[in-house]
Structure 1
Amino acid sequence: MGCCVPPKESREPIRYDPTFNGPIHNRSCTDIVWLITFILFLGGWGYVGYYSMTRGNVEKLLAPIDSNGRRCGLDSGLEDKKYLLFFNIAKCLAPGTPITGCPTTQVCVSQCPSRTVLFEKEIRQNPGIFDQIKNDMVCTDGLNVQTMTSSEALEHIKNEKCTSFVLQSQPVLGRCFVNVTAAVELLRDLTNGTVDLAEAQVLEQLIKLLKSNQLSSQIVQDLVQSRWYMAGALVAVVLVCFIYILLLRWVVTPVVWTSIAGLFALLGFAIYLCYKNYEYYKANPVGLYQTTNLKGYAQSIFAKSETWLVILIISAIVFLILLLVIIFLRNRIVIAIALIREGSKAVTAIKSTVLFPIFPWILQCGIIAYGVLVLMYLLSIGESAFRVVNLKNDTTCDCGGLYTEEGVACNPAKFISQCHDTRSALLPCQVASCHFTGIDNPYSVIYMQLVNLLGFFWAMFFISGVADMMLASTFSTWYWTFHKRDLPFFTLTSGIYRTFRYHLGTVAFGALIIAIVRVIRVILEYIDHKLKKFDNPFTRCIMCCCKCFFWCLENFLKFVNKNAYIMCAVHGKNFCRSANDAFSLLMRNIVRVVVLDKVADFIFFLSKLLISIGVGFAVYYLLEWNYVYEVTKGERLHYNYVPAIILSVATYLICTIFFNVYSMAVDTLFLCFLEDCERNDGSPEKPYFMSKNLMKILGKRNKKAI
């Protein structure tokens, strides 16, 4: 492995070596111990996955639980009842429902209701109709609907043993959720007659449910309707990225400055739109009575002049900051453009590197899928846990001393049989319940979760590190080839071979360091979440400082790792020596690092931002264009900004994949450029390897032999 203590000579400028002409070929394996450790850890991680998948059951997490704590479709007697029905789903809209559970009776059924029936109302109006609708009635276990009379049914409805109504529903993850059409029919039926207090509360809750359900359904409908537009737009985005890369190769200076100008034009246009909306809503304030419709309900926050004023101020500040940065760095941008031109030459000379990131991305998607799957199986190992909830809020609930405190463990069967309302021996507690809170995992699962977490991050950073080193080996070969026409045809293949053959251990070591820091950050977030109930200024300050420190540490280590991989790809040294050589080289040229390398990264960021925002605006106004609907014969969307925002985000991700190759090329060439400046002086014996354009900008030149 070698020693991580930097030797004294590493702090001195790199000396000229007449035998050096790029990545060395006679190299040896580096950091073998860490590669063996990584392979052994992968075996352990694989065993954790095998153990979790043989011991756990994901259906335990996804299967719905009825009021008696039994799993629909899994527990004995419920094998053919896979769906959960809520007696009054309107009660599930209470703010505390995600924490305390839905305070209505829940039973397992074989199928969700196929139609809407108001049992109590119809039986009271016509008792004889009960025989026609009894097949749709749902009651708790132990009650046979077929043998009931209409009076018995009303009594059971009163005691919440049977549901007073059912709504046409659809199964979603094993739960029967209300269909919008059924809710509309129920609202129409309730409002035609006299509405009592209970029905008024149900009506109010169902209106909220209807609005949220209709909003989400309209958004989904828009996405389904515009799916082909979005698919075509994604193809166009890929083509735009390719065209942009080609433009960087031939006309990089106009493209970069046009990108910067285009970004400022878009920001200026956004500021103009914000100002016009601010003026409009200030002159035409929207009252509350105007926001009762769905569209006003969804966009009420953007119907206030104050909202547009805040957005206007933020946009103006961002515009001003970016303008000052560009003005201050305008001279350095010229040098950064030359560096980007070198990167574009390298990328276009080795065209296969453009598509290379797709393969690591596919591997990382597989790692994500495996990590999430193991996580779910681990969470499903253990026994079900039930806790008493809402006991304090139910003053009439008497459990005979069995359950006296909120949050204590409970048995669903005992709770149903022994906790009753003191006013009646038949009525169960109206508010308090024995709620399923999760699965109690054994302590061994906690350690397995840590192994899974570390394995997930280690594998993810390992894959990205291997890809970076392969690209670094490829682009450094291009730079150190004096006559570029002599560049080997299989340059990328050679870089892949060198990385796999010699340096997987180095990447494993570097990835482990970042993975450990990332795991610490995740643990800090978990601790911060758990300490919310003990929230005070001191703990907030400590947690904030810890999270900020480890965030900075992770980003610094990523910077060191990336440059260590580049030096390792060129010189074939282990991680510690490569990191030390790279860091020393960068520190000796700290001014150039700040004003060249980081300016190039800033230009790439502006380019990605320009393409993303431009696609978003283009999609939005394209969907506003009547001609599009005349040609496609399609219907107008409810919310044009939904596909526009989604495509903007997708565009940014696609651009990031493509521009990561450019970023790695620029970082590699930048490090090679610094080393070139130290190794050589432009004399015939020690000529520069950099391009003539870059030498011209820096005021350097290669002297001809006399």
Structure 2
Amino acid sequence: MQILPDVNMNVIEKWEDSERTHIQNKALHGSQDFLGPARTRNSTDILCLIIFILLNFALGGLGFYIYSIGNVDRLGHGSDFRGEVCGVNGLSSKKYTYFPDPQDIQIVLCIEKCPKKVIQEEICYYDIDHVTLLKVWGCWDSIQTTEFSYFCLPKEKVYRKNVIDVFFTQQGLIKRAGGDIVYTWDIVTVGVTASLIFAIVFILIFPNPSIVYLDSVKRLGIYCAFFSCFLIIAFSGVVYYNSLRINELLCQKNNEVVPDYCYNVPMKGLQILSFIAISFAVLYIIYVICHKKDFLSANNLIGLSKEPISKVKGIMIIPVLQITIGLMIVIGLNVLILWTLSIGKVVSLDNNNVPGGKINTLEFRSIDKIILMFILLMCFWWLSFLIAIGNFIMGGIIGSWYFTKEKSTIFNPVSTSIKNILKYHLGTVVRGSLNNFLFRFPVFILSFFNSFFLKHKKNSCSLCLAYSCCLCMWPYHKFLKYTNSSSYIFLSIFAYPYSISSRQCYYLLSRNQKKIEKPLKACSFVLLNIRICISFIGMLGCYVYLTFSPKTLIGFSTDDLSTTLAPGIFVMVACIYLAEVVCSNYFAILQALAICGMADEEMFTAEQRFMKDDMHVAFESVAVETKRLDYQVIEVQRPGRSNRVQANLVEFDENFNLKPTPSIKYRSKKDTNDLEIKDYEPTSHSQSKRK
């Protein structure tokens, strides 16, 4: 008989009931001929692959167009009234941008150095040969200025404010930040190389059985946690120092000239960033100290990973290939981004007060902004795509290893996984990688709220907030919660389409939450600290060098940079990718072990299972410990006994007869993790009473 849904359920209970009764939320079923990752496969999500290929053709065409009209020399310098870039070609000796009449900012000249004092009729127009002075058009008295990023900023308050309003526009800042990256390419390369070395060290550590042991994992996690906090604190200190340095250039004595107007927005912005960084570091240290026991929860699962990592040949070639291809894509697409910043439409304005009667300016159009956003999207999509490929291949490798009972006979799982993704599932990985890139942060936020709602589903404040957030939570429960990198692992083993794989994987993990959630979260926490270390070490090295060193390795003056933060951010993007490759691949191995183990338990009986004893003990010990903690919360009186047991231990069959209920007692005080189960047989009196 079908039971109708309770119409009195609140919105949180409806979400919970919808998840519990979902069509994909059912136990997996195995067959006697199951031998691991599916042999028979069909191509999945071909349309997504076709769209991705077409978009890349469009990207190639845009790249050719941008390269033909762009000029990166426009990024770091200003341009004169003819639209020619200062410090380039015929103006190579005139690097500084100067406004002879700050009340008319359309008239711009390129000069050799910024004037420090007033000299009558010193500044004149120059001819197209950039040498001959056109005194017939009149000359200006020079004004006192200070230097900042190849711009001459007037000392006088009103004039200085007019020029700064032009200098610190959004378009101008982005272009000059691109110029800073171009001028400091040598330091950028050194910073990325430092993080690359750090990443390779971790790649070499993981397959080493002498490192991947329980105590070593704990120490590695704690050391990385405190080292990452040190890097963040150091970063906040350098940012604060840089804020004082910029304030000195803009507001204090600069080249023997004291400005009358102080523009302190950059200083305040950097100080706020410094405060946020130091606050995050302090809170993170407190969190690490309070949760240092979580490192122990990662021991068993990480210990299980050492066997497939050390025995499967070629498994660590995958992250090396990802790093190589990914860095090539990062370099290529970021060069294209810099070139895109330099494009624009030359606009001519009539002005009879300048030689030639026209003033040429370069405007960054709306279509140029759309092109830039498209290139940025393709850049991050490619990086997410490469990371997803690694997760799929790692899942296929671990699936082949796990579901082979004789581990010594496993045959080329690396090449098999690569063949499967290239031949059948490339479109699915394209689709999933875009979803992960676009929805990763929203899913993280919404999952936090969802956990809060489920935990307090009877609370009136929680219900009020849930009803208010219905529109936000609807897409989460409809499809966003299935967006997870573990879907690639499930796909690599069972070869279902993405929509099915993501849902079945989500519910498989949900059904076995007590067994695998705690160790997976602990492993994720350990790897998070490694991510921070790899990401920050290159960026911080680059930022520190550009802040404290007067020149780069190739001799460029760091005082001429508009911001030293832009090259550091550029380095950090590349370093985050390196960290993701290393840590996401290793976490994919751990997830694959957990998924294979849970699928194995659901698909087969004890004698048919592929699970080894050590893995079974690892998962069951976590489940028993979780249950032991749950049992300490709610207690009810056991019929016919004087002791008390937990309410969730009392179960009834379909005829409402009391079922045998296990009681828990420890075997010994020495080993509190091993529990002894003793069945309670209900008395005849309790049975008759129940009937």
- The aligned residue for residue 108 of structure 2 is 106
Distance 1:320 1:553, change over 3 A: farther
Equivalent residue letter for 1:103:
I
CA offset at residue 578 of structure 1? 2.0
Q: Kindly indicate whether residue 150 of structure 2 is the aligned counterpart of residue 139 of structure 1.
A: no
Contact 1:360 1:464 in 2 (8 A): yes
Distance 1:247 1:616, change over 3 A: farther
CA offset at residue 451 of structure 1? 7.2
Unaligned 5+ segments in structure 2 are 1-18, 168-176, 239-247, 256-261, 444-468, 546-557, 625-673, 675-691
Alignment of 1:24-35 (within 5 A): 24-25=38-39, 27-31=40-44, 34-35=45-46
CA offset at residue 345 of structure 1? 2.4
Structure-2-length-normalised TM-score: 0.56
Distance 1:484 1:373, change over 3 A: same
Distance 1:197 1:267, change over 3 A: closer
Contact 1:454 1:515 in 2 (8 A): no
- The aligned residue for residue 241 of structure 1 is 202
- The aligned residue for residue 494 of structure 2 is 571
Q: Kindly indicate whether residue 425 of structure 2 is the aligned counterpart of residue 412 of structure 1.
A: no
Contact 1:454 1:516 in 2 (8 A): no
- The aligned residue for residue 220 of structure 2 is 259
Q: Kindly indicate whether residue 288 of structure 2 is the aligned counterpart of residue 322 of structure 1.
A: yes
| Deviations 1:36-81 (CA, angstroms, capped at 9, x unpaired) | 552365236515643774598433786588665x5439xxxx9x97
Contact 1:52 1:381 in 2 (8 A): no
Q: Kindly indicate whether residue 527 of structure 2 is the aligned counterpart of residue 604 of structure 1.
A: yes
Distance 1:440 1:57, change over 3 A: farther
- The aligned residue for residue 346 of structure 1 is 308
Residues in 1 aligned to 2:381 and 2:185: alpha-carbon distance in whole angstroms: 37
| Deviations 1:418-462 (CA, angstroms, capped at 9, x unpaired) | xx7xxxxx9999xxx9865334759xx96x888767765655544
CA offset at residue 16 of structure 1? 4.2
Residue 587 of structure 1 is aligned with which of 507, 510, 535? 510
Residues in 2 aligned to 1:468 and 1:309: alpha-carbon distance in whole angstroms: 36
Equivalent residue letter for 1:661:
N
Contact 2:36 2:493 in 1 (8 A): yes
Alignment of 1:446-525 (within 5 A): 459-488=382-411, 490-511=412-433, 513-514=435-436
Alignment of 1:533-572 (within 5 A): 556-559=481-484, 562-572=485-495
Distance 1:324 1:486, change over 3 A: same
- The aligned residue for residue 36 of structure 2 is 22
CA offset at residue 667 of structure 1? 1.2
Counterpart secondary structure, 2:70? helix
Distance 1:520 1:512, change over 3 A: same
Equivalent residue letter for 1:18:
Q
Q: Kindly indicate whether residue 360 of structure 2 is the aligned counterpart of residue 438 of structure 1.
A: no
Contact 2:397 2:414 in 1 (8 A): yes
**RMSD (Å) for aligned C-alpha atoms:** 6.8
Equivalent residue letter for 1:105:
I
Distance 1:113 1:166, change over 3 A: farther
Distance 1:250 1:465, change over 3 A: closer
Residues in 1 aligned to 2:499 and 2:486: alpha-carbon distance in whole angstroms: 11
Identical columns (%): 14
CA offset at residue 230 of structure 1? 6.4
Normalized per residue, which structure has more helix? Answer: 1
Alignment of 1:117-136 (within 5 A): 121=119
Distance 1:157 1:617, change over 3 A: closer
Distance 1:61 1:612, change over 3 A: closer
Distance 1:647 1:255, change over 3 A: farther
Residues in 2 aligned to 1:166 and 1:105: alpha-carbon distance in whole angstroms: 17
- The aligned residue for residue 157 of structure 1 is 139
Contact 1:611 1:651 in 2 (8 A): yes
Residues in 1 aligned to 2:186 and 2:71: alpha-carbon distance in whole angstroms: 35
- The aligned residue for residue 583 of structure 2 is 659
CA offset at residue 19 of structure 1? 1.7
Equivalent residue letter for 1:695:
V
Residues in 2 aligned to 1:457 and 1:231: alpha-carbon distance in whole angstroms: 17
Contact 1:249 1:348 in 2 (8 A): no
Equivalent residue letter for 1:13:
A
Equivalent residue letter for 1:507:
V
Q: Kindly indicate whether residue 368 of structure 2 is the aligned counterpart of residue 357 of structure 1.
A: no
Contact 1:245 1:344 in 2 (8 A): yes
Residue 57 of structure 2 is aligned with which of 40, 46, 70? 46
Residues in 1 aligned to 2:544 and 2:373: alpha-carbon distance in whole angstroms: 48
- The aligned residue for residue 668 of structure 1 is 592
Residues in 2 aligned to 1:378 and 1:92: alpha-carbon distance in whole angstroms: 30
Distance 1:228 1:473, change over 3 A: closer
Residues in 1 aligned to 2:486 and 2:580: alpha-carbon distance in whole angstroms: 19
| Deviations 1:332-362 (CA, angstroms, capped at 9, x unpaired) | x545321112223222223522231233344
Equivalent residue letter for 1:262:
Y
Distance 1:103 1:44, change over 3 A: same
Contact 2:396 2:417 in 1 (8 A): yes
Contact 1:469 1:569 in 2 (8 A): yes
Equivalent residue letter for 2:303:
R
CA offset at residue 477 of structure 1? 0.8
Contact 2:308 2:401 in 1 (8 A): yes
Residues in 1 aligned to 2:619 and 2:186: alpha-carbon distance in whole angstroms: 53
CA offset at residue 659 of structure 1? 2.2
Distance 1:156 1:573, change over 3 A: same
Contact 1:87 1:166 in 2 (8 A): no
Counterpart secondary structure, 1:11? coil
CA offset at residue 661 of structure 1? 1.9
- The aligned residue for residue 190 of structure 1 is none
Contact 2:48 2:431 in 1 (8 A): no
Contact 1:30 1:503 in 2 (8 A): yes
Counterpart secondary structure, 1:412? strand
CA offset at residue 671 of structure 1? 0.6
Contact 2:225 2:529 in 1 (8 A): no
Counterpart secondary structure, 1:564? helix
Residues in 2 aligned to 1:228 and 1:380: alpha-carbon distance in whole angstroms: 22
| Deviations 1:14-44 (CA, angstroms, capped at 9, x unpaired) | 234222131132x13132xx32552365236
CA offset at residue 675 of structure 1? 0.9
Contact 2:508 2:598 in 1 (8 A): yes
Residue 72 of structure 1 is aligned with which of 72, 78, 84? 84
Equivalent residue letter for 1:58:
I
Alignment of 1:168-317 (within 5 A): 177=150, 237-238=198-199, 240-246=201-207, 250-263=211-224, 315-317=281-283
Residues in 2 aligned to 1:241 and 1:674: alpha-carbon distance in whole angstroms: 28
Residues in 2 aligned to 1:353 and 1:93: alpha-carbon distance in whole angstroms: 66
CA offset at residue 323 of structure 1? 2.6
